[in-house]
Amino acid sequence: QRNGPYLPLKVPDGMLQYMASVQTASGEPFCGGFLISDWFVITAAHCQLGNPQSVVLGTHDLNNADDTMRYGIRKCKGHPTFDLSSDIMLLKLSRPCPLQPVLLPKPGMKVSANDQCSVVGWGSTQTKGSGSRHLRMANVSVIDHKICSNEWGKFDVKLPEEVICAGGYGTNKGFCQGDSGGPLVCNGTAVGIVSFNYLSICDYPTYPNVYTGLNKFLPWITNALAKNDC
């Protein structure tokens, strides 16, 4: 049994201004994302299924979003090798965003078991629940890859080395549906992207939450930013 929402903490206004709400043509939020430059947001490739049309940047309260905070998506491109370790997509905005982007990891940067990080999003606060209108976060610990791999191996899921596991395992903290595409942030650096949990169940923290590790994709991201195109 758990008590409270899966992302239990409300994010204070003014913090984490790089957070993006990925939305449909009608303005419904369905995924998260994060600003990495004035022109680009990163989200999860599986968010393409929701047909993203815009992102909202600059407010934590989606009820307060106005047209100045809404950015059209000029182009979106998932990584060409989409698989369990490559759940990543770049969104090019229709105009530049003046907000401060999140830091990306330096080449070779690794996270270790028990590192303290945070996951952020507007997703559901319980299984099959409605999404939050206010940005929320949870502090989570990185889980040893071998332990994570063994747990997911019970379901014949072979986890690639590049994924990161944190939260949702022996704890009541982690992500839920609607948080997909948001960042795993460690020491102010985005190191992962919310990818998947067990059968979309958030209320039974038996199996670790899984994130796409960003390190592997730094050359691909750097190339897109340099060309200002994806």
Active-site residue list: 46, 87, 180
Does residue 199 come out as left (phi exceeding 0), alpha (psi in the -120 to 50 range) or beta?
A: left
List the one residue out of 159, 164, 173 whose CA is nearest residue 115. 164
CA distances from 91 to 29, 111, 130, 147 (A): 15, 26, 25, 33
For residues 142 and 151, give the distance between their C-alpha atoms in angstroms, rounded to a whole number: 14
For residues 62 and 5, give the distance between their C-alpha atoms in angstroms, rounded to a whole number: 18
